[in-house]
Structures are given as C-alpha cells and as structure tokens.
Amino acid sequence: MHSEGAFPTVRLRRLRYLPAMRRLVRQVHLRAEQMILPVFVRPGRGVKKEIPSMPGHWQLSPDLAAQEVREAARLGLGGVLLFGIPEQKDPEGREALRPDGVIPQAIRAAKDAAPEVLVITDLCFCEYTSHGHCGPICQRAGRTDVDNDTTLQLLGQQAVVHAQAGADLVAPSGMMDGMVGAIRKALDAAGFEHVPILSYAAKYASAFYGPFREAAESAPQFGDRRSYQMDPASRTEAALREIQLDLAEGADMVMVKPALAYLDVIREVRCRWPEIPLAAYNVSGEYSMVKAASERGWLDEKQIALEILTAIGRAGADIIITYWAKQAAGWLAEAKP
C-alpha cells in the first residue's frame, strides 16, 4: 500500500523530463533589464586601461565609457553604475566635488550616447582620497578614523554635482551613519527631489572586494574599513536594522553587498520588505574567481555565472549589479526558444 500523494502516484521528475516542460514551470527568470553594468571611468580620451584581476573589464575614458553605455542600450540592460578614478587625489577627495570632474563628464557622455539608459553614480570618496578611505580622516580617542559627520556634508555636495550633470539615480556606498538623510536633504534643497537614492544599506567588510580595489584604485593605504562596513559575522538582524534606518531617512531602494555569500541576508530583507526595490551586488571577487577557474578549464563560466545570478534572483533581488551583465544578456538572448 502506498500512502495518498506518494510514489509512484507522485513523480516529481515528470515536470523535469522535457526541456520545454522545464521552461514552462520555471519560477525564477533572469532578464537583461534587471542587470546593471559597473563601468570604471578615468580622465582622458581614447583611454582603455586593462584591469588584470578582472578580465573583460577596463578603466575607460568618458568617450569610451559612452560606447559601453550604447552597448548596454543595445542589450537591453537595466542601466550602468559609474565609478570614477580621478587625475589627482588628496586627503579630502575634493576631485569628487568638481562639476567638470571625471564622473560628471562620464554622465554627460553617457546621456549623449544613449539618453534612455539609466545612469547610476556611486557616491563615495575612497577612489578620490589619497589614503583610500571613504571620507576625510580624523583622530578620535587616540585612533585614526573616518570623520563621519564631515563626510555627510561632502556626500551631499557630491550628490548634487552628479544630479546637475544628469545622473538618474545616486548610490551612496560608504556606510556612513546618516548618509541617506544628508544626501536627500542636499538633493531636495538643490531642486532634485525627483532623483532617487539607492543605498548600499547592508555592505559588509568583505574579502570579495579585492579586484574592485585594483579596478577603482581605492585600496586603503592603512588599516581597513571594518569600523564602518558591516562585520560578516553579524547576524542578519543587524542588516535589517541598517536597512530600516536608511529607509526611514528616505532611501528609495536598498542594496545588499556582496551577494553570493549573503543570500540569506537578501532573503531576509525581501521577506521583511516585499514592497521595496532590492538590489544585490555580485561583486568583483565573485566574478574574478569564476573567471580564473574557467580560464584553467575547471569550470564552465557561462553555466556557473547564470547559476549564480539565478540564485541571487531566487533569494529575492529585483536588481543585480554584475560584471557579467553584458555576457549574461547575450546568453539569455541565445537561450530564448
């Protein structure tokens, strides 16, 4: 005797038997329009500088970055995320505030190239400071630290500069307390109430950022960023608290970074706030380790990349920032029956 609803009456393999059946009942669908392509921009013209630890990505001058934006439009991607590498660095990162700086140039070039593409800009100072930290440094209680409240004023200025150049969405990434509120206040005061904020609300002090720091030339010259980025060993409730505070300050969208090792956090955020647009950053280390393994013939890059991106979407991310954006869009187009 077989109990009701058990084998052999129930055979779950029936829905996996045919490729067409698997496509029909598939519940997680990757789409090009949910993917954001990070682009690294440096001054000059006709500049394409290799990033050795991130095959397939380069530091590009604004004119060549505009070509990437055109390609993003052709592939139907959800947008681009711009990171700037300035010509000069100083302890306060003042190059980040120049209306004619590298990111404002890149924004204008992107909008000239493909006005319909969403242009997101990273708001932070680690690429612009000579010490590589995410804001000006101060001495407090006998230790060196980022001056949180001074950085808030500078972030507000940086956001306005980007909005004036035409940025569609700004994304503060430094994990400063109060950053969303300060940026919202500055944007509103400058007449940019319509510009939304995507907060790196749960950003962990992760070892997966190594290749990015080469790409953005932003490695700390001393110490680390553990006093402001989240501890990887903290419980998911700590991330929920960070996100709740950013939403209260006016964040329109929130992000979990990195993605692959923090799928549990993505899932908890999605369950807590099903109505809030949720992004996840599939970071450089997650990309580069698969690239390295595939170059050695140990892994199939296409299959692994799509599996990773699918897992991020299954965990609950609406938006995926990924260095595979262009490739994944091509792979998904090829797979359409």
Q: How much is the average pLDDT of 241-245?
A: 98
What residues form DSSP beta bridges with 230?
A: 204
Given this model, what pLDDT does residue 151 score? 94
161 or 28, which is more confident: 161
Alpha helices in the chain (DSSP H): 19-25, 62-75, 102-113, 148-165, 179-189, 210-215, 236-249, 263-272, 284-295, 301-315, 325-335
34, 313 Cβ separation under 8 angstroms: yes
**Which residue numbers are catalytic?**
203, 257
Given this model, what pLDDT does residue 59 score? 97
Q: How far is CA 16 from CA 8, 23, 176, 332, in A?
A: 16, 9, 48, 20
Burial of residue 229 (CB within 10 Å: 0-12, 13-18, 19+) is buried
Three-point CA angle 76, 34, 15, nearest 5°: 105
187 or 220, which is more confident: 187
pLDDT of residue 336 exceeding 80, the answer is no
Assign 226 a pLDDT band (cuts: 50, 70, 90): confident
The model's pLDDT over 271-315, given as tens digits with 9 standing for 90+, comes to 999 999 999 999 999 999 999 999 999 999 999 999 999 999 999
Given this model, what pLDDT does residue 119 score? 98
The model's pLDDT over 14-54, given as tens digits with 9 standing for 90+, comes to 999 999 999 899 889 999 999 999 999 999 999 999 999 99
pLDDT of residue 261 exceeding 90, the answer is yes
The model's pLDDT over 166-206, given as tens digits with 9 standing for 90+, comes to 999 999 999 999 999 999 999 999 999 999 999 999 999 99
318, 244 Cβ separation under 8 angstroms: no
Given this model, what pLDDT does residue 230 score? 94
- Which amino acid appears at position 302 of this protein? K
pLDDT of residue 1 exceeding 70, the answer is no
The model's pLDDT over 50-108, given as tens digits with 9 standing for 90+, comes to 999 999 999 999 999 999 999 999 999 999 999 999 999 998 999 999 999 999 999 99
pLDDT of residue 109 exceeding 70, the answer is yes
Assign 139 a pLDDT band (cuts: 50, 70, 90): confident
Given this model, what pLDDT does residue 118 score? 98
Assign 145 a pLDDT band (cuts: 50, 70, 90): confident
1-15, 137-151, 194-208, 237-251: least confident range: 1-15
Report DSSP state, residue 231.
P
- pTM metric for this prediction: 0.94
Main-chain dihedrals φ then ψ at residue 83, nearest 5 degrees: -120, 135
pLDDT of residue 3 exceeding 80, the answer is no
